[in-house]
């Protein structure tokens, strides 16, 4: 068995190092592509301005040109919005789905603002050319006789409505997934509709080099749609899994064991997952459970290993209902996603900081290291409220014996007397209080590769502690966000 582990161990480290290098190259390529498209849009804007607009600008020409500038940059950003919101597999392999969706949410507000700028400045310029200060009807007037312009107004108000619904549904949690998601799919119609508006109504979109940009963006949009359709059709048979078992880890926390329900599922991408990745789960056959929810794949990520495990904590209606599912229930499992721990092997030592169930990607990493027989000196600082919230205690003790691992349990709602009675075992330590600056200073040296996962308020506190204790800037701490 030791010989098998020794043979397999370089494979985990080597393949993850190569994956980290590939992702870094791909990220640079995507960043360069986006920058090139924006430069193209701005160069096209500058080249298509009449010379007198630069030599003798007027308020009419300046406001009109500003409106066009917002439009040309807006369509590039709109395309990026579509690519990041479609779970595009090319982008996901480079940035991770969680980072994509977080960027998508932030970018949506920028896109809405850019097209608002386009409408406001263009309307202002047109109003002044008609001898008016500002004709507000230009913002909302709907006339079939000027249908190309009307199309642009419809696109903007529909975009604004979709963005508001998504914000109310996701950020404010006031709408269910079924209420805000279907209108959100209108973006796949709004982008080409907006592009048609720009080509037919704009006085310069039909000239070079902007017309070349127009066709390039439309081609990239079609490619994005084709990739999404191909992904759905190819992976649909592999999505069906069966809930094989569910065992309790701690109060309100269970681990679900999922086995393939189809032949396609047995050869799906989940068989080649990386430590720390997550899957998106749905239960389509039960009312109210068809909304996608992400859960970390907490088991060892060794190529071909089945079944898969997800550790789930009760934190809402979906998880509460999921914990009541009976073995044999069909579950749709999409993934694996994320790149949280893909670059751990570039470090000589690791510091893993977990808040509550945020420990699950780290458990996956430690289990994978143990299964592969390769390891790095690691300190796991795990914050929980009480002893009852802690799970996998015995397994972590065993891992401390086999790996160069130190585990520190920080219990914020337990007394020092209670912790003193807790049995200290090899590599495992207990302490009362929060995971604060003093804890970080005591257990870490500051030269570790730092990874943190937990609720957002807790994460902000931990980042401050790392900076105060060892001067580690937040941008040097890789984080997994609880935002979905």
Q: Quick: pLDDT tens for 283-340.
A: 988 887 888 899 999 999 876 667 899 999 988 888 999 999 999 999 999 989 999 9
Q: Quick: pLDDT tens for 179-234.
A: 888 898 898 999 999 999 999 988 788 899 999 999 999 999 999 999 988 877 77
Residue 1 has pLDDT above 80, yes or no: no
d(CA 231, CA 235): 6
d(CA 74, CA 68): 9
Q: Confidence class of residue 178 from pLDDT cuts 50, 70 and 90?
A: confident
d(CA 161, CA 112): 10
The helix (H) or strand (E) run that includes residue 470 is helix 456-470
Q: With helix as H, strand as E and coil as C, how does 39-77 read?
A: HHHHHHHHHCCCHHHHHCCCHHHHHHHHHHHHHHHHHHH
d(CA 462, CA 63): 47
Tokens of 232: 């759905």
User: Hey, is 336 helix, strand or coil?
Assistant: strand
DSSP class per residue in 67-117 = HHHHHHHHHHHHHHHHHHHTT-HHHHHHH-HHHHHHHHHHHHHHHHHHHHH
- Whether residue 373 contacts residue 8, with contact meaning beta carbons closer than 8 Å, is answered with yes
The share of the chain scoring above pLDDT 70, in percent, equals 95
Paired strand residues for 110: none
Q: Quick: pLDDT tens for 73-104.
A: 999 999 999 999 988 889 998 999 988 999 99
The share of the chain scoring above pLDDT 90, in percent, equals 70
The helix (H) or strand (E) run that includes residue 366 is helix 360-372
Q: Among candidates 465, 419, 459, which has minimal Cα distance to 438?
A: 465
Paired strand residues for 243: 258
- Whether residue 67 contacts residue 122, with contact meaning beta carbons closer than 8 Å, is answered with yes
The helix (H) or strand (E) run that includes residue 441 is helix 437-443
Q: Confidence class of residue 484 from pLDDT cuts 50, 70 and 90?
A: low
Residue 328 falls in which region: left (phi positive, over 0), alpha (psi -120 to 50) or beta: left
- Res 246: pLDDT: 93
Residue 64 has pLDDT above 50, yes or no: yes
Residue 10 has pLDDT above 70, yes or no: no
Please list the alpha-helical segments (H only) found in 170-282.
177-184, 187-201, 210-235, 263-266
- Res 32: pLDDT: 97
- Whether residue 334 contacts residue 437, with contact meaning beta carbons closer than 8 Å, is answered with no
- Token pair 């870490």 is found at 444
Helix 187-201 crosses helix 59-85 at what angle (to 10 degrees)?
150
pTM more than 0.75: yes
Which are the contacts of 173, defined by CB distance < 8 A and separation ≥ 6?
none
Q: Spell out a b/e string for 116-126, using b for 16 or more CB atoms within 10 Å of the CB, else e.
A: bbbbbbbbbbb
User: Hey, is 182 helix, strand or coil?
Assistant: helix
- Res 304: pLDDT: 63
Q: Confidence class of residue 424 from pLDDT cuts 50, 70 and 90?
A: low
Number of Cβ within a 10 Å radius of residue 423: 8
Number of Cβ within a 10 Å radius of residue 258: 25
Mean pLDDT of the chain: 90
> What domains appear along the chain, each with residue ranges and CATH number?
8-234 (no CATH), 238-337 (2.40.30.10), 347-481 (3.40.50.80)
Q: Confidence class of residue 117 from pLDDT cuts 50, 70 and 90?
A: very high
């Amino acid at each position: 068995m030791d010989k098998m582990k020794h043979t397999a161990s370089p494979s985990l480290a080597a393949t993850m190092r190569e994956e980290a290098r590939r992702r870094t190259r791909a990220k640079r390529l995507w960043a360069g592509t986006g920058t090139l498209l924006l430069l193209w849009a701005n160069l096209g804007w500058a080249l298509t301005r009449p010379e007198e607009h630069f030599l003798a600008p007027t308020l009419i020409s300046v406001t009109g040109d500003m409106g066009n500038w917002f439009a040309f940059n807006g369509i590039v950003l709109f395309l990026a919005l579509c690519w990041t919101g479609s779970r595009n597999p090319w982008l996901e392999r480079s940035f991770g789905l969680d980072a994509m969706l977080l960027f998508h949410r932030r970018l949506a507000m920028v896109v809405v603002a850019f097209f608002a700028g386009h409408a406001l400045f263009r309307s202002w310029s047109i109003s002044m050319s008609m001898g008016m200060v500002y004709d507000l009807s230009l913002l909302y007037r709907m006339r079939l006789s000027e249908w190309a312009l009307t199309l642009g107004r419809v696109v903007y108000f529909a975009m604004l409505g979709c963005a508001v619904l998504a914000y109310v549904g996701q950020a404010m949690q006031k709408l269910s997934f079924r209420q805000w998601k279907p209108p959100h799919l209108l973006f796949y119609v709004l982008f080409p509709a907006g592009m048609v508006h720009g080509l037919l109504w704009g006085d310069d979109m039909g000239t070079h080099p902007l017309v070349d940009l127009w066709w390039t963006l439309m081609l990239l949009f079609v490619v994005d749609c084709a990739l999404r359709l191909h992904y759905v059709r190819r992976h649909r048979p592999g999505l069906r899994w069966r809930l094989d078992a569910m065992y309790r880890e701690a109060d309100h926390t269970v681990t679900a064991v999922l086995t393939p329900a189809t032949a396609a599922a047995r050869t799906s991408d989940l068989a080649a997952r990386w430590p720390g990745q997550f899957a998106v789960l749905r239960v389509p056959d039960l009312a109210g459970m068809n909304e996608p929810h992400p859960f970390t794949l907490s088991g060892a990520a060794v190529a071909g290993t089945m079944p898969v495990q997800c550790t789930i904590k009760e934190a809402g209606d979906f998880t509460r209902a999921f914990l009541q599912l009976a073995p044999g229930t069909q579950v749709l499992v999409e993934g694996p996603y994320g790149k949280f721990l893909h670059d751990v092997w570039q470090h000589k030592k690791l510091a893993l900081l977990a808040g509550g169930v945020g420990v699950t990607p780290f458990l996956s990493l430690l289990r994978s290291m143990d299964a592969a027989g390769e390891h790095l000196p690691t300190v796991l600082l795990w914050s929980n409220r009480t002893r009852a919230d802690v799970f996998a205690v015995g397994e972590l003790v065993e891992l401390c014996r086999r790996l160069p691992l130190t585990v520190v349990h920080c219990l914020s709602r337990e007394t020092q007397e209670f912790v003193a009675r807790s049995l200290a075992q090899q590599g495992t330590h207990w302490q009362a209080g929060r995971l604060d600056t003093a804890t970080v200073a005591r257990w870490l040296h500051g030269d570790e590769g730092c990874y943190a996962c937990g609720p957002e308020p807790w994460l902000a506190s931990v980042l401050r502690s790392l900076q105060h204790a060892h001067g580690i800037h937040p941008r040097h701490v890789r984080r997994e966000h609880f935002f979905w």
